[in-house]
Amino acid sequence: MKKLLAVVAVLPLLASCDRLETLVQQQPVQNTDVQTKSDEQKKAEMALPDFAQLVEQVGASVVNIRVENESRNQKIDPFAELFRDFMQEDPFNQDDQNAYNYGSGFIISSDGDILTNAHVVRGGGTIIVTLKDKRELRAQLVGIDEDSDTALLSVKADNLSAVKIGHSKSLQVGEWVAAIGAPFGFDNSVTSGIVSAKKRTLPDSNYIPFIQTDVAINPGNSGGPLFNLRGEVVGMNSQIFSRSGGFMGISFSVPIDVSMNVVEQLKKTGHVRRGHLGVMVQPVTHELSQNFKLDRPRGAVIVQITPNGPASKTSLQVGDIILEVNGEIVETSTDLPIIIGYSAPGSTVQLKIWRNASTMDMPVVLDELENKKAISFHEPATSQYQDKAFRLPELGLTLAPLDEKTAQHYKIPNGLMVMNVESQAQTAGFRKGQIIMSVGQTVVSDEATFRAALQAYQGQESVPLFVLINGQPFFLSCPLK
Residues noted as catalytic: 119, 149, 222
Q: How many CA atoms lie within 13 A of 278 on its CB side?
A: 19
- Contact present, 282 and 475 (Cβ < 8 Å): yes
φ, ψ of residue 374 to 5 degrees: the values are -70, 150
Angstrom distance (rounded) from CA 276 to CA 340? 6
What own/partner pairs with CB < 8 Å and gap ≥ 24 does 446-449 have? 446/401, 446/416, 447/390, 447/399, 447/401
Q: What are the helix (H) ranges across 272-398?
A: 286-291, 335-341
Q: For residue 178, what are the β-bridge partners?
A: 192, 227
Angstrom distance (rounded) from CA 72 to CA 68? 9
β-strand pairing of 164-165 with 232-241:
parallel
Residue by residue, DSSP assigns 127-178 as EEEE-TT--EEEEEEEEEEGGGTEEEEE-S-SS--PPEE--GGG--TT-EEE
Angstrom distance (rounded) from CA 55 to CA 210? 24
Angstrom distance (rounded) from CA 105 to CA 141? 13
β-strand pairing of 127-130 with 2-4:
unpaired
